[in-house]
Amino acid sequence: MIETAKELEVYLRPHMKTHKTLEIGEMMAPSKSKISVSTLAELEFFADGGFDDILLAIPITKDKLTRLKFVHERKNISILINTVEAIDILDSSDRPFNVLIEVSTGYERTGIYVEEYQKIAKILEKLLASPNRLTFKGLYNHCGHTYLGEKERDETKRTKIEAMNRETVSKLVELRDYLERQFESSAPIFIGTGSTPGCGYPVDEFKQLDELHPGNYCFYDYCQETLGSCRTTDIAAFVLSRVNSVFEDYIVIDAGFLAISKDSPELNFGKVLAPNDDMFITGMSQEAGKLKMKSEETDLRTRFKVGDYVKIAPAHSCFTAALHPEFALFENGKFIKKISPCRGW
Amino acid sequence: MIETAKELEVYLRPHMKTHKTLEIGEMMAPSKSKISVSTLAELEFFADGGFDDILLAIPITKDKLTRLKFVHERKNISILINTVEAIDILDSSDRPFNVLIEVSTGYERTGIYVEEYQKIAKILEKLLASPNRLTFKGLYNHCGHTYLGEKERDETKRTKIEAMNRETVSKLVELRDYLERQFESSAPIFIGTGSTPGCGYPVDEFKQLDELHPGNYCFYDYCQETLGSCRTTDIAAFVLSRVNSVFEDYIVIDAGFLAISKDSPELNFGKVLAPNDDMFITGMSQEAGKLKMKSEETDLRTRFKVGDYVKIAPAHSCFTAALHPEFALFENGKFIKKISPCRGW
């Protein structure tokens, strides 16, 4: 992804939410600068870990302010807002925050639809009237719609995602140009977007952006594989476990939904790589996963035994990783060390 | 549940897996004795926390032995087995373990079907031949089938679950009687079953059992409510959050799947109690939940505002609780203290 951003001549602001560790954070942002985080806990963790220029990529609310300001005293923090009221919330800070307006080019969550020029202009108008407190930086977009629906992940997915990317750029550029015309006093307005599927199919038009901010690509997962963002061999996070019971037509492993998560039942929660890649997860309870063969089999008791090694590529590594108090880090098949993600909010 | 067990004159061995805290463990087992756990980490945590007579309610495998023996040196530990081979694994312990054979009266997971008399008898035969190492205690059953399928949770659910309970007792009693006839050398064979829906509809026949071992009832949840195990007012675990964005037809809250879990999409992942109990969770990303009204509404911007308090009863409290590094404990509406669950494996 570092190479992709370099070729496109845009900044890369990797999101830390998938792994939440200092070690992988440094792989994604070797300068330990310019990252995104999804919780105040991550903000504090990465700030304490030596990172700077951190974007808190959730809408600011009043209850977050005390902890936010405490970190902001020693680090450069950027904040997302999506209302005029949020400006008043940030009012009381002595040190000006960098502020981005969160917009949406298609994904329905916390961004204001880019088409709502008047609503966005009103926020910017108020922002620019508060030059001592807040520094307006630009427009932030999460192109979450590039994840597509389950049934849209067919052979045309590349075409679809590339079209979404072009549309996203064109909408952001149009909005930026409009705002720059309306508010000549504003400094140049940065525009950025990000999602691992979107950045997995980079288009030439991305050169018109200032920043990309994907996150999941540190691990990828089986969902990303179905989207074509990666191949199986690119996936870098696995649940390792063992078989604890073997029955005629199913086996049970020592990993249930607290190790794997219940994300993406339509993808059977993940891709089983061992003890046999012809297996799938048919059900889970808290600490037990039930695996069956995809193809017809006579008797699994002749093929598998208690203690057999299990390796599963999760359907959604962001969820699965967050369930684990530590990760075992491997390089070229060799165990390096255990690392601990941050947790909570 | 303590009262129910007393009335039925059976032991209660509450499962700790739902809350994983010493404090709630002591509420469920005031004598700090006779509990079930689902991981080695829980076993160590509760043993270190002063609990004794602990059942590790997952099948034993060789890789678990070192840690298991270390705890067993100072506490009374019971072990589940479902194969003849497991007996060899437990072979090397100096201090005899209490052993239960895991059977199943209907739930397909790690128990041996109660109908497989010969298979169970073979395990018991080998067990009784190892009197110095292993003490056979009885038969363990998890009646997980009482959770019913989604579409079976209709007005006949009480009848269905009570019938399952009676069938479970009758099958366990028959098997026990058979084994006691076959192995006269055996001490009396304990029989026990457990699940919160099963124990939520206790039948007179439960008096023929020795032990019940449900777990989820410490919190209950929205799923248990749909099963009739509890009422909404019995639910004791909630996700508290705040509204961070208000749009015309949806609001977004500061709680996504890492706070709520993705369990039970068919139940919309939980029951929204505030800011308005006519809302439901329509989607979640990692740190954001999207809520809509069930009934038609004109404009949510006139009803809700950023910062509004959110309260959600989770669909499955076992999963939701495990996502939180600490719980805020309330009694009669008053905040008491924060408590920390154990985590990992």
Strands B270-274, B211-212: pairing kind: unpaired
What 3-state DSSP class applies to B79? Answer: strand
Nearest to B200 by CA among B188, B183, B217: B217
Whether residue B164 contacts residue B149, with contact meaning beta carbons closer than 8 Å, is answered with: no
Two tokens at B249? 């037809």
Separation of alpha carbons A281 and A292, rounded Å: 7
Two tokens at B209? 């059992």
Give B144→chain A minimum CA distance, Å: 10
For the stretch A95-109, pLDDT in tens is 889 999 999 999 989
Report pLDDT for A60. 93
Which contacts (CB < 8 Å, 24+ apart) does range A115-120 have?
A115/A171, A117/A175, A117/A178, A120/A175, A120/A179
The closest CB to that of A319, out of B250, B257, B326, belongs to B257
Whether residue A308 contacts residue A297, with contact meaning beta carbons closer than 8 Å, is answered with: no
Burial B128-141 (b: 16+ CB within 10 A, else e): eebeebbebbbbbb
Cβ contact, residue pair B319, A288, below 8 Å: no
Cβ contact, residue pair B306, A109, below 8 Å: no
Separation of alpha carbons B77 and B97, rounded Å: 6
Report pLDDT for B296. 79
The closest CB to that of A83, out of B63, B262, B306, belongs to B306
Two tokens at B302? 């006139």
Tell me which DSSP letter residue B217 carries.
G
Report pLDDT for B335. 97
Q: How far is CA B317 from CA B23, B137, B205, in A?
A: 17, 31, 29
Q: How far is CA A65 from CA A49, A56, A161, in A?
A: 21, 12, 37
Cβ contact, residue pair A244, B17, below 8 Å: no
Q: Give chain A positions within 8 Å (CB) of B17.
A: 286-287
Separation of alpha carbons B176 and B138, rounded Å: 8
A-B contacts (CB, under 8 Å):
114
Whether residue A222 contacts residue A315, with contact meaning beta carbons closer than 8 Å, is answered with: yes
Whether residue B269 contacts residue B315, with contact meaning beta carbons closer than 8 Å, is answered with: yes
Nearest CA in chain A to B266: A265
Mean pLDDT for each consecutive 10-residue tract of chain A (345 residues)?
97 98 98 98 98 97 94 96 90 85 94 96 93 87 90 89 97 97 88 95 97 97 96 97 96 98 97 97 97 90 96 98 98 95 97
**What is the distance, to the nearest Å, from the Cα of residue A336 to the centroid of all Cα atoms in its chain?**
25
Report pLDDT for B191. 97
The closest CB to that of B287, out of A58, A108, A343, belongs to A58
Containing B134, the helix (H) or strand (E) segment is strand B134-142
Nearest to B278 by CA among B307, B303, B248: B303
- Domains contained in chain A, CATH given: 2-218 (3.20.20.10), 232-339 (2.40.37.20)
Q: Where are the beta strands (DSSP E) in chain A?
A: 11-12, 33-37, 52-59, 77-81, 97-104, 112-113, 134-142, 190-194, 211-212, 239-246, 251-253, 270-274, 279-285, 288-293, 309-314, 327-331, 334-339
Mean pLDDT for each consecutive 10-residue tract of chain B (345 residues)?
97 98 98 98 98 97 94 96 90 84 94 96 93 87 90 89 97 97 88 95 97 97 96 97 96 98 97 97 97 90 95 98 98 95 97
Report pLDDT for A200. 94
Q: Give chain B positions within 8 Å (CB) of A250.
A: 108
In the numeric block, the tokens 């209490």 are attached to B98
Nearest to A243 by CA among A286, A292, A207: A292
Report pLDDT for A149. 83
The closest CB to that of B38, out of A242, A265, A287, belongs to A287
SS (H, E, C) A104-118: ECCCCCCCEECCCHH
